[in-house]
Amino acid sequence: MNSLLDLPYAGADPLTPFPPAEQALETPNGLLAWGGDLQPERLLQAYRKGIFPWYSEGQPILWWSPAPRCVLLPSRVYASKRTRRRYNSGIYRLSIDRAFDEVIEACAQPREYESSTWISREMIDAYCLLHRMGHAHSLEVWRDGSLAGGIYGLHLGGVFFGESMFSRQTDASKIALIGLCRILEAYGFDLLDCQVGNPHLITMGAEDICRPEFESTLKVSVARTDIPRTWAQTPKFESRW
């Protein structure tokens, strides 16, 4: 990684503008700035520009805008026949914003192949505050009354910025993603921002797009005011898929 001194400093004022995203480094891909804090004003400003925080415990806050960008159009979410059957089986029940704190805490637990997590206590507190302000949402997957999986992220205009998901039961994270996409489609969202692609997301319909295409869509979408910040449990959300 380049020295942080070579990067723009985010500044003490949460309203300090970020540098243009096209100034982000190629290696590591998307690193744009460092420092600052996770106050709601700064986070909302960052996401409107396609910038997000991602750093490990003990590091300063690092701000990223990778290219290409991984996105998923809600109507194009895909699942295998096995996963679709499981979604329609009734084994799992889905809910919206019923357990946001539990979902982000579960996402913060290190995976089996990891020794640490990037979702620090500072990050948890920041996104829980955004949730209380109506900007962040969670989708929960339940089995036999216990939380089996979930996903959380940030909602601005017609874009949902997916942050993280987790699974404690077979296909629970896939079911969470499907359920989220069905909600987003029902409300007329333009896209789900997945930030950086991985094989799991690509197999479910996500795709990489270039920075100009992403930023062009983002500029229009985040300005939309026709999608409510409070989500209701819709019939489409609970129906078979």
Note the pLDDT tens digit of each residue in 172-220.
999 999 999 999 999 999 999 999 989 989 999 999 999 999 999 999 9
Range 4-66: architecture per CATH: 2-Layer Sandwich (3.30)
| C-alpha distances in Å from residue 145, one per residue of 138, 149, 156 | 17, 12, 31
Note the pLDDT tens digit of each residue in 19-47.
999 999 999 999 999 999 999 999 999 99
Q: pTM for the whole thing?
A: 0.94
Could you give the CA distance from residue 38 to residue 58 in angstroms, rounded to a whole number?
15
CATH of 70-238, one of 3.40.630.70, 1.20.1260.10, 3.40.50.300, 3.40.640.10: 3.40.630.70
State the SS3 of 137-164: EEEEEEECCEEEEEEEEEEECCEEEEEE
DSSP 8-state class, residue 55: -
- Listing from the earlier edge strand, what are the strands of the sheet with 62-64? 31-34, 62-64, 52-53
Note the pLDDT tens digit of each residue in 117-175.
789 999 999 999 999 999 999 999 999 999 999 999 999 999 999 999 999 999 999 99
Question: Is residue 65 a contact partner of residue 10, using CB atoms and an 8 Å limit?
Answer: no
Could you give the CA distance from residue 240 to residue 138 in angstroms, rounded to a whole number?
20
Question: Is residue 63 a contact partner of residue 35, using CB atoms and an 8 Å limit?
Answer: no
Could you give the CA distance from residue 206 to residue 74 in angstroms, rounded to a whole number?
9
Note the pLDDT tens digit of each residue in 41-67.
999 999 999 999 999 888 899 999 999
The full set of domain ranges for the chain reads 4-66, 70-238
Residue corresponding to tokens 């979930």? 150
- DSSP, collapsed to helix, strand or coil, labels residue 87 as helix
